Structures are given as structure tokens and as C-alpha cells.
Amino acid sequence: MAIPGFGEIAEQLRRSTVLIHSGGRGSGSGVIWSSNGLLVTNAHVVRSVRPKVQLWDGREFEAAVQSRDPFRDLAQLRIDARNLPAASAADSSQLRPGELAIAIGNPMGFVGALATGVIHGVGPLRGLGSHSWVQAEVRLAPGNSGGPLADARGRVVGINTMVAGRLALAIPSNAVRDFLSASPSNGRLGVTIHPVFLPRPASRSKSFGLVVLAVQPDSPAALASLLPGDILLGTEEKRFASLEDLARALQGSGPRVLRLEFLRGDYERIRRVTVQLGNPLPARSSVAA
């Protein structure tokens, strides 16, 4: 079925999508959230303090990272530009299975690539915590991350983040609004993590952990000697049961410390490390033991 004005809708969405270069050889996408230079993308797309942003008309800017939430995988950027073609956002709670979905991004170096499909559902997914995801049967590829997932009217309903099987997963637009309106917190650990389930000895049950995939240089995690491959189990007070538990443990402002328990190597001995938050020290503040 033809959609009246679909070409114009797609072109407007392209103009509201940006290309982001943030260190390394890869790139990602972002959405112009307001005409005065506010951009939204995935946290995992932003790998440097001053990422480069390219607009649809070819103009390039150096962006400032205003806030970053690696646990919801969102980042807020700001560029010095005005009168930009901002996207409009829809209420993601009103989405229904079967609705048309439009994804714009920059996969594999193809700038402004468009993909269409349908909404599969909205809600949490097993193994990904309690957060809701917009699940769509839309084909994505590396470079789509951070770009918009929109409805048939071109309104953003989510920020494309990852692929699970045949489904594209996007962070709902309502969650993006909550992120942008949240009070600032400097609880940044500086790691890329993924949830895993570990078998317990002499038991058929499994325990939850967060495997560290990457550690950002000079971050609190790096200064505390955490390494890729470490599995975070929890704090001294409480074991993690979801990504949100670590997010809550990191909340707050001002200089403070967080004592983490983790596994390394043969994963047989629980280790502990003290991480300095809020005001990272210029030298290694502690050593993982």
C-alpha cells in the first residue's frame, strides 16, 4: 500500500539524522533532537570527548558530550549550530504491533540509508533487564546505531541500538525524554558491559554478572585496573541482578568511592576493587585485587 508523501517524510527524516565519527575506524548515527544543536545518540557510539558530527548538508562540527548513560545506552551531544531540521518525537507507549517502522542511519558507510518494516512489539526482553525496547522487523547494520526509528508520519519512536536475531531493538522515545530531563549525575565507570549468566557450582541455578567488553582509557574503571573480560558481580552490599542495579550503584554527584566485587581469570575467586567516582584521580587510585 502506497503512503501519500512517503518520499517527503523519508527525506525530512534523513535531514534530521547525522553521521557521528568518534575515534577508531567506525561511525554511527544520531538524531537532531532540537533545532538549537541538541543531538541524541547511543552511548556506545560516543568513544571520545569531542566526537565529530556531519550534517545532511555536508557541514561538520565538533560536538560536546553533555551527558552519557551507558546503562540505557544514550548520550546527549551539543553542536554550535542553529535552525537545524529537528526531528519530532511520538509517544512510544502508543505503538502497536503491525505499524510501519522507518529506520534511517549510516550503515557500512552508506550515508542516509533507509530501511522499512513493521513494529513487532514494545516491552522488556529477557536478559536485557527491565527496560522496554521497541522491537521492529527492520534490517539494521553497523552504523545504524544511534539513528532514528520512526513511524509512518516520520515521528521518532526510538533510537536504534542493536539487533537481536531478526529484530532491531530501539530505545523508546519516552525513555529518551526521561534521559534528557534527568538531573545530572557524574557516576561514570567508563566501561562497555554485557549481561551474562554464570553457572553456580553444585547447583543448577545461574548467577547474574556483567562482563566487561571494553574499558575507556583514563576512566574510573581504568584507573582502578579493571580489564576486559572481568565479570562484575555487585557491590559489597548487594549482588547485581540487572543492568539497572549497577546504574543505581553509580548514581550520585561529587567525589565518592564504590567497592565492587568481580571475577577474573579462572573465575574461581571473588576479587574486590575500590573505584573513585565523581573526581577521577590523575594516577591509579587502586589496584584490582
pLDDT digits (tens, 9 = 90+) for 192-213: 888 888 876 544 556 889 999 8
* pLDDT beneath 70: ranges in the chain: 1-4, 24-25, 183-187, 200-206, 253, 279-289
Backbone angles phi, psi at 167, to 5 degrees: -105, 140
Domain 8-78 has CATH 2.40.10.10: yes
Whether 22 sits among the annotated catalytic residues: the reply is: no
DSSP 56: T
Q: Which one of the listed residues 29, 145, 173, 242 is annotated catalytic?
A: 145
Specify the pLDDT at position 24. 67
Backbone angles phi, psi at 80, to 5 degrees: -85, 80
Ramachandran assignment for 114, one of left (phi > 0), alpha (psi -120 to 50 degrees), beta (any other): beta
Q: Say whether 80 sits in a helix, a strand or coil.
A: coil
Whether 44 sits among the annotated catalytic residues: the reply is: yes
Same fold yes or no, 8-78 and 92-181: yes
Read off the amino acid at residue 152: A
Q: How far apart are CA 157 and CA 244, in angstroms?
A: 22
The three three-digit cell numbers of residue 156, written as one number: 521518532
pTM for the full predicted model: 0.69
Q: Which one of the listed residues 16, 22, 44, 120 is annotated catalytic?
A: 44
In angstroms, the Cα distances linking 84 to 7, 57, 58, 131 are 20, 11, 13, 31
The three three-digit cell numbers of residue 261, written as one number: 566485587
Classify domain 92-181 by CATH architecture: Beta Barrel (2.40)
Any idea where the domains of the chain sit in the sequence? 8-78, 92-181, 191-277
Q: How far apart are CA 121 and CA 98, in angstroms?
A: 8
Specify the pLDDT at position 284. 37
DSSP 250: H
Classify domain 191-277 by CATH architecture: Roll (2.30)
Q: Which one of the listed residues 73, 151, 230, 245 is annotated catalytic?
A: 73
